[in-house]
A and B are shown apart, each in its own frame.
Chain A
């Protein structure tokens, strides 16, 4: 069955450092992968989408990579700030035109001042 894995342990880093979050998947051939941010008590907010034929996507301090051979996406936040502290979810959509993404459980990021 399809499976998405995100590190369940919180990632603690110091302000100014680069945070790197991992999303691994198995039994999937996703057409694209998305990253969302979720703050406590709120719904997820879309950050970035990367397609299967793209290796890297950037937006301001955010960078996403997508390795379909390794079946892995890395999500980087450079020059991290305490305001970046949140849970980050990856979501994959199976190839074939399905519009129903599957979400990972998310990884909590804590940026210490």
Chain B
């Protein structure tokens, strides 16, 4: 079936540095999402994105976070600068956005900030 690819699967970064998490969504999808899951806790919504714009973001989507999808390429989540509490697994998802559509998730990128 359709797959959302996330690259890399694991990234280790020094606190204060910038990191970009890449997501290759399903090709005909229009809505994109990022979720964050800290170990032992639930997956929590960060942001959704449509037509080049952020539609909605949660309280977890700090000012240091940004998303973009330039010209149909990767959908990216950038964190600048990173903090220790950003260590988590980040899941990308995409959908066509039509009623009753299925949302497809990637396998996640484990981010470790040291």
A binds B: no
